[in-house]
């Protein structure tokens, strides 16, 4: 078997006496959707932050495409195709939907945002931004202000912004949070479609979505991986039932 796209080895992070990440090792294989589930406070967000480069682990290694990236910051990881989809706060509400994505395309290309650009550059940026909007089903809203989008559309826009960095591995922290039933179903559909192009690791509390989407699931309990396997294996794992899911939820 070839090496995993992401290999996390013996990652540890403590806050005082609290072991938030306690000797975590896991693999994310190219092409899979790998879900991280666990009770509130289990350390899921802290783990993702260490993978994205926002937070330094106390010890352990993160290997991505065979390279040790543990010491690299977030910008360097994004350049390597390891990106995290940010939450609503990073959207520019008074910019159009297209401009929000164009800023991300421009950042990827290494120049900072400017209001005045040559028309050809502007066109190229907008074309690429439009492609990302197409990918998430938002091309019809390109000229609307980002602040005027519905909650579900904002989550789609976040995803388009993340796609603008051309990720190979996308880290998603509760991408369905705050969405209604219909919006959640649309996003699940969208992740399913994007799967052939980008590997995804996602934290998600919506168990229906997790079991519908994930190829593999890692269960984090008190900072430790309690189980890792296919959704069915995890669903039937006695430790997981006891520690987290509850008999009735997984029945
Ligand atoms: N900067 C910090 N300083 C101290 N404690 C922290 C810090 N960040 C997180 N924690 C603690 O670490 C634990 C894990 O937090 P984290 O947000 O990673 O959990 P989570 O599994 O993502 O939770 P949730 O599902 O509620 O979002 C919590 O007890 C939290 O209070």
Tell me, what's the ipTM?
Answer: 0.96
Q: What is the mean pLDDT of residues 184-188?
A: 90
Give the number of domains in the chain: 2
- Is any atom of ligand 1 closer than 6 Å to the C-beta of 70? no
Indicate the residue among 119, 135, 166 that finishes a domain. Answer: 166
- Is any atom of ligand 1 closer than 6 Å to the C-beta of 14? no
pLDDT at 250 over 50: no
Band the pLDDT of 125: cuts 50, 70, 90: confident
Q: Which atom of ligand 1 is nearest to the CA of 205?
A: 25
My answer on whether 6 and 40 are in the same domain is yes
Q: Is the dihedral of CA 130, 111, 48, 166 positive or negative?
A: positive
What's the chain's average pLDDT? 89
My answer on whether 102 and 77 are in the same domain is no
My answer on whether 69 and 146 are in the same domain is no
Band the pLDDT of 124: cuts 50, 70, 90: confident
- Is any atom of ligand 1 closer than 6 Å to the C-beta of 192? no
Q: What is the mean pLDDT of residues 27-38?
A: 96
Indicate the residue among 166, 193, 214 that finishes a domain. Answer: 166
pLDDT at 197 over 80: yes
CA–CA distance, 157 with 162 (Å, rounded to integer): 9
Closest C-alpha among 88, 95, 154 to residue 126:
95
Closest C-alpha among 123, 89, 84 to residue 106:
123
| Domain that includes residue 244, residue range | 1-81+167-251
- Is any atom of ligand 1 closer than 6 Å to the C-beta of 41? yes
- Is any atom of ligand 1 closer than 6 Å to the C-beta of 196? no
Closest C-alpha among 187, 217, 215, 218 to residue 31:
215
CATH of the domain at 5: 3.40.50.300
Q: Ligand 1 centre and the CA of 41: distance in Å?
A: 5
Q: Whose CA is nearest to atom 6 of ligand 1?
A: 15
Tokens of 53: 């480069």
Q: Among 102-106, 112-116, 126-130, 225-229, name the one with the lowest average pLDDT.
A: 112-116
User: According to the model, what pLDDT value does residue 247 have?
Assistant: 47
- Residue pair 53/125 in contact (Cβ under 8 Å)? The answer is no
Band the pLDDT of 100: cuts 50, 70, 90: very high
Band the pLDDT of 222: cuts 50, 70, 90: very high
Q: Whose CA is nearest to atom 31 of ligand 1?
A: 41
User: According to the model, what pLDDT value does residue 109 have?
Assistant: 74
Q: Among 38-47, 187-196, 198-207, 235-244, name the one with the lowest average pLDDT.
A: 235-244
My answer on whether 153 and 182 are in the same domain is no
């Amino acid at each position: 078997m070839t090496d995993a796209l992401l290999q996390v080895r013996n990652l540890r992070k403590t806050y005082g006496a609290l072991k938030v990440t306690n000797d975590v090792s896991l693999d994310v294989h190219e092409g899979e959707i790998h879900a991280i589930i666990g009770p509130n406070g289990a350390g899921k967000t802290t783990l993702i932050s260490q993978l994205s480069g926002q937070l330094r682990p106390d010890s352990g290694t993160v290997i991505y495409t065979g390279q040790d990236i543990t010491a690299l910051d977030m910008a360097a990881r994004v350049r390597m195709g390891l990106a995290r989809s940010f939450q609503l706060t990073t959207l520019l509400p008074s910019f159009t939907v297209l401009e929000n994505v164009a800023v991300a395309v421009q950042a990827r290309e290494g120049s900072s945002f400017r209001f005045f650009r040559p028309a050809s550059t502007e066109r190229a940026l907008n074309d690429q931004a439009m492609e990302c909007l197409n990918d998430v089903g938002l091309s019809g809203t390109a000229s609307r202000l980002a602040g005027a989008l519905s909650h579900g559309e904002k989550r789609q826009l976040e995803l388009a912004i993340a796609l603008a960095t051309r990720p190979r591995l996308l880290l998603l922290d509760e991408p369905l949070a705050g969405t209604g039933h219909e919006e959640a179903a649309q996003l699940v559909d969208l992740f399913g479609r994007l799967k052939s192009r980008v590997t995804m690791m996602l934290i998600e509390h919506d168990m229906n979505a997790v079991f519908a989407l994930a190829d593999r699931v890692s269960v984090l309990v008190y900072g430790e991986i309690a189980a890792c396997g296919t959704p069915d294996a995890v669903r039937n794992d006695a430790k997981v039932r006891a520690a987290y899911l509850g008999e009735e939820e997984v029945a």
